[in-house]
Amino acid sequence: MSGSDDMKHILVTGAVGQIGSELTMELRKLHGNENVVAMGRKTKPSDLLGNSGPFEFGDVVDKSSLERIVKDHDIDTIYHMAAILSGDGEKNPQLAYNVNMNGLYNVLELAREKEMTRVMVPSSIAAFGPTTPKENTPQETILKPTTMYGLTKVAGELLADYYFKRFQVDVRGLRYPGIISSETLPGGGTTDYAVEIFYEAIKNKKYNCFVREDTVLPMMYMPDCINATIDLMNADVNKLVHHSDFNLGALSFSAGQLAAEIRKHIPEFTVTYEPDFRQAIADSWPRTIDDSAARAEWGWKPTYGLEKMTVDMIEKLSKKLL
């Protein structure tokens, strides 16, 4: 089945988070506000998110709360965005294991039991590790991450593919790079510096960066992230060779290059570098990504480069913060 006609009632877990909040609003535009249920655990949704369509509090690790929401809203499609990211995962590995593994298991089991149309299960560049080739990281490569987050992402990819083959649950997933956005701040990740730097540049004209100046990581601007997520969910399943583990590339730059790009617009902006525990995480991840499988199988193509993304971020955040 291809297209989105068979996805009628959608649930977004982690809907108050960085990607979930913007994804929910885009899905509401596409499918109708009342057909897209946003779910969060504790954080109060923004007025926009909370008032534009249904919102439910629930916890992905509690299968009964998830089941109630699925039943009440007749859910046939889940975008499972709830996760503990790399930095927070190292602070509390037990929590990361519980949310990322048991939460995913509950979502996949519900999808199997209710014979759902489709499930989106995000993976990440965190699935790679220090022994993975760092440049042009191939689709098929060594997956030996050294973080709890990364470990749950590898297991999640395998579990999702298992559900596709064994139970015919149509699960799809992408290895997200760091996501840069102006709407909702990321929380608990290693790539968060690439968002924080914009806020601080605009508000205070200075930023103390928690990774080294020469740290290069794969990144992506939110509009590309949303398009990729929705396009993969709408892709013709018959054309997909991969399912839950698509490499996704867009931008790759060092912290220093990003600072220099911002300085073109805010000349007085200064950055100091004080690497913390997240430096080791960043050093274990790729620098650039080979996303030819995503391009060939469902037509992935990013639209934002470093310059265009920086202009848009500064424009949007200046309106919001100044």
Residues known to be catalytic: 149
- To ligand AKB, the closest distance from the beta carbon of 192 in angstroms equals 6
Q: Compare residues 66 and 126 and give the one whose CB is closer to ligand AKB.
A: 126
CB of 149 to ligand AKB, least distance (A): 6
Binder among 189, 249, 286, 302 for ligand AKB (CB under 6 A): 189
- Least CB distance to ligand AKB at residue 217 (A): 8
Amino acid identity of residue 277, one-letter, is F
Output 117 or 149, the one with its CB closest to ligand AKB: 149
Strands 178-180 and 118-120: unpaired
The residue of the chain with the least Cβ separation from ligand AKB equals: 189
Site size with ligand AKB, rule: CB under 6 A: 11
When the beta carbons of 58 and 218 are compared against ligand AKB, the nearer one is: 218
- In whole angstroms, give the CA distance from residue 18 to residue 20: 6
Q: Is residue 40 close enough to count as binding ligand AKB by CB under 6 A?
A: no
Contact pattern from residue 57 through residue 86 relative to ligand AKB, giving x for each residue in contact according to CB under 6 A and a dash for the rest: ----------------------------xx
Q: Does 176 bind ligand AKB (CB under 6 A)?
A: yes
Give the one residue of 60, 107, 108, 125 binding ligand AKB; rule: CB under 6 A: 125
Q: Which is nearer to ligand AKB, 176 or 273 (CB)?
A: 176
Residue identified by tokens 């299960």 is 121
Tell which one of 40, 129, 145, 178 touches ligand AKB (CB under 6 A): 178
CB of 311 to ligand AKB, least distance (A): 22
Stretch that binds ligand AKB, among 7-15, 183-191, 240-248, 290-298 (CB under 6 A): 183-191
* Greatest alpha-carbon span in the chain: 57
Per-residue three-class SS string for the chain: CCCCCCCCCEEEECCCCHHHHHHHHHHHHHHCHHHEEEEECCCCCCHHHHHHCCEEECCCCCHHHHHHHHHHCCCCEEEECCCCCHHHHHHCHHHHHHHHHHHHHHHHHHHHHCCCCEEECCEEHHHCCCCCCCCCECCCCCCCCCCHHHHHHHHHHHHHHHHHHHHCCCEECEEECEEECCCCCCCCCCCCHHHHHHHHHHHCCEEEECCCCCCEEEEEEHHHHHHHHHHHHHCCHHHCCCCCCEECCCEEEEHHHHHHHHHCCCCCCEEEECCCCHHHHHHCCCCCECCHHHHHHHCCCCCCCHHHHHHHHHHHHHHHHC
Q: How far is the CB of 322 from ligand AKB (least distance, A)?
A: 26
191 binds ligand AKB (CB under 6 A): yes
Q: Does 215 sit near ligand AKB (CB under 6 A)? A: no
Binding piece for ligand AKB, criterion CB under 6 A, among 59-67, 118-126, 193-201, 265-273: 118-126
Q: What is the Cα–Cα distance from 296 to 270, expressed in whole angstroms?
A: 41
Tell me whether residue 54 or residue 186 sits nearer to ligand AKB (CB atom). Answer: 186
Binding site for ligand AKB (CB under 6 A): 85-86, 124-126, 149, 176, 178, 189-191
